[in-house]
Amino acid sequence: MKEKIHKFIDYPKPPPLSWVQSAGLTLVGRGVIARKVKDAESLYLVHQIGKVGSTSMTNAIRRAGLVGFQTHLLNPKGRGDEFRERLWESWAPREMWGTSPWIRRTIQKRSADSVLITGIRNPIDREISEVMQNPGRYLSTHRRPRTDEEINAHLPDIIKAVNHILSINRLDAWFTTELDYMLGEPFPWEDRSDELQSTGHAHFRGESGLSVHVVRFEDLSEAFTKIAEIEGHPDLVLPHDNRSNSSRVFEIVRAHGLDPAAIQSVLAQRTVRAAYPESQLEAWAAEWH
């Protein structure tokens, strides 16, 4: 019964109920976060754009007995813009509108004791996953298309949405708005490029003391081993990766092809070029043309 009550309270509601839910969770959020971090020697924050293994990473942190949070938007301006954009269209994610302001303040207050992990992924795969995970935002249905018949029925809208997202440089914008904001300074992508390309992981400690790890989605298990060594938490392990995506939508979209200009745009982003070698970018461009 207790679990059912928690699910009823936490599960996102459609607007305008989402506004009430968000307001209520924001009011109690301070106390919730304060209790979680009270006796913690270190805090972990998985903060990234989404569809890059956030839940798997957060679960691994918590299995290791560490205090961990998962967020996607913490910059107050970014959260405000997103809220206004989705005011009538989207249900309210619990941590985005409820506890995230208190998570942000706690991490900033305890930067020297905190570890921020953020991920980057093949941007073409990521944007397809984004569209399919949020059909209500991009397609004429709130139900995720799963069968070949359903996918093909929505294929023109899927292709249109993916091409649009690929062309607007969302990754560079997110890392500038969110990662640099939490770090308090620009993340040195070029200086960490060799490390990131060769190992799938890059580490940087900012002037505030915040320890930042950038990991490639394709190398999550190995990257977590490095994080555990650097941070001194040997129980922090990620036992499996999601290295390949076998969803039928990827096969169908790949067979149809995407806009070459949109593909070139997304692969030209600074963060993508820092994380992946030129040979990999060329292979992805050829795969999706």
pLDDT per residue as tens digits for the range 113-163: 999 999 999 999 999 999 998 898 899 988 999 999 999 999 999 999 999
- Between 24 and 82, the higher pLDDT residue: 24
pLDDT in tens, 249-273: 999 999 999 999 999 999 999 999 9
Q: How confident is the model over 191-216, as a mean pLDDT? A: 98
Closest-CA residue to 148 (of 244, 223, 251): 251
Neighbours of 282 (CB within 10 A): 11
247: helix, coil or strand?
A: coil
Q: List the domain range (segments joined by +) for residue 255.
A: 2-288
Pick from 34-48, 130-144, 208-222: least confident:
130-144
Tell me the pairing of strands 201-205 and 114-120.
unpaired
pLDDT of res. 11:
58
Structurally, the chain folds into a number of domains equal to 1
Per-residue pLDDT band for 57 (boundaries 50, 70, 90) equals very high
Burial of 165 (0-12, 13-18, 19+ CB in 10 A): buried
Assess contact for 265 and 167: CB atoms under 8 A: yes
**What local confidence, expressed as pLDDT, does residue 10 receive?**
56
Structure tokens given for 60: 């691994």
Measured distance CA(69)–CA(104) in Å, rounded: 10
Do residues 275 and 243 make contact, with C-beta atoms less than 8 angstroms apart? no
Read off the tokens for 79.
């959260």
For range 39-53, the mean pLDDT: 95
- Single pTM value for the model: 0.90
Residue 21 in this model has a pLDDT that exceeds 60 = yes
Averaged pLDDT of the chain: 89
Give the model's pLDDT for residue 6: 60
Choose among 51, 196, 54, 177: nearest CA to 126: 51
The angle at the Cα of 269, spanning 152 to 156, to the nearest 5 degrees, equals 15
pLDDT band for position 16 (cuts 50, 70, 90): confident
φ and ψ of 213, to 5 deg: -120, 125
Q: Which H/E stretch holds residue 68? A: strand 67-71
For 59-74, how does the pLDDT look when each residue is reduced to its tens digit (9 = 90+)? Answer: 999 999 999 999 998 9
